[in-house]
A = this chain, B = another copy of it.
Amino acid sequence: MVVKSQIKFIKNLQQKKYRTQNKLFVSEGIKTVRELLNSSLKVYKIYVTDSTVLEFEGDFVEVISEGELKKMSGLSTPNKVLGVFHIPVSEPLDFSDWVIALDDVRDPGNLGTIIRLCDWFGVRSLLCSSNSVDCFNPKVLQATMGSISRVNIVYGDLQRIFSNSEVPVYGAFMEGTEVYKEKFPKKGILVMGNEANGVSEAIEALVDKKISIPQFGPKTAESLNVATATAILMNEIRRG
């Protein structure tokens, strides 16, 4: 039996304010929780409605009722397991390899997909502007499919970091050089813009090289989704 105050405490972690205050985040569903338990993340508490669903035992596992889970969950149909983990401390960005930077990406699904892409393409460092969506937002976590524990995500001031950068800053722009013509160096920063407005003017001024993904056939599509554009550009960088 979970006390009311604890249920409220967990439920509040759906909101960024409380996550930041308590340095904790919530992840739901057997598969993702299991992956996070196997990662370097530190667990705070795991709530299960059925003690057999996880192969983990420990002080941090508590069996609760479905009613209790429903009260603390952020999902309309909670799925047996809710894990609470400590938000890891970000490491410094590693500029010896490529760094992906996001200039106000707001959609949780897009950020989650980009984190998963970083994991796939072995990009360790992801820099997000402070107005980007929070990476511990439950919808982001759902889209990352466990990759959250393997990418170092840093929220910071893109302008300050780009101004002091010793590596070239590449940016995705509609009017950039065709990406196929680009010979990418071993390290650099690739900045991707906001869903509606692209890269902001202040950041654009700090971009060394504008690149674009060519359109084929009649030029009818207005743009590509930021996550798919990131996929294509990361692939271009890695394929060499």
Q: Which of B121, B232, B235 contacts A217 (CB 8 A)?
A: B121
Encode A136-153 as 1/0 by CB contact (under 8 A) with B. 000000010111001000
Q: How many residues of A contact B (CB 8 A)?
A: 37
Identify the interface centre among A113, A215, A225, A228: most chain B CB within 10 Å of its CB. Answer: A228
Q: Which of B109, B119, B231 contacts A220 (CB 8 A)?
A: B119
A184 vs chain B, min Cβ distance (A): 13
Q: Provide the bound-state CA to CA distance between A87 and B223, in Å.
A: 24
Question: Are the C-beta atoms of A235 and B232 separated by less than 8 Å?
Answer: yes
Given A146-B222, A222-B145, A120 contacting B215 (CB threshold 8 A): yes
Q: State whether the Cβ of A213 lies closer than 8 Å to any Cβ in chain B.
A: yes
Given A225-B116, A231-B231, A215 contacting B145 (CB threshold 8 A): no
Q: Which of B122, B123, B221, B236 contacts A119 (CB 8 A)?
A: B221
Q: Provide the bound-state CA to CA distance between A123 and B216, in Å.
A: 8
Q: State whether the Cβ of A161 lies closer than 8 Å to any Cβ in chain B.
A: no
Q: State whether the Cβ of A17 lies closer than 8 Å to any Cβ in chain B.
A: no
Q: Provide the bound-state CA to CA distance between A123 and B227, in Å.
A: 20
Q: State whether the Cβ of A23 lies closer than 8 Å to any Cβ in chain B.
A: no
What are the residues of chain B within 8 A of A75 when measuring CB–CB?
none
Q: State whether the Cβ of A218 lies closer than 8 Å to any Cβ in chain B.
A: yes
Residues of chain A touching chain B, judged by Cβ–Cβ distance below 8 Å, are 109, 113, 116-117, 119-124, 143, 145-147, 150, 180, 213-218, 220-225, 227-229, 231-232, 235-236, 238-239
What are 8 A-B pairs at a CB distance below 8 A?
A117-B224, A120-B221, A122-B218, A143-B225, A227-B228, A228-B231, A229-B231, A232-B235
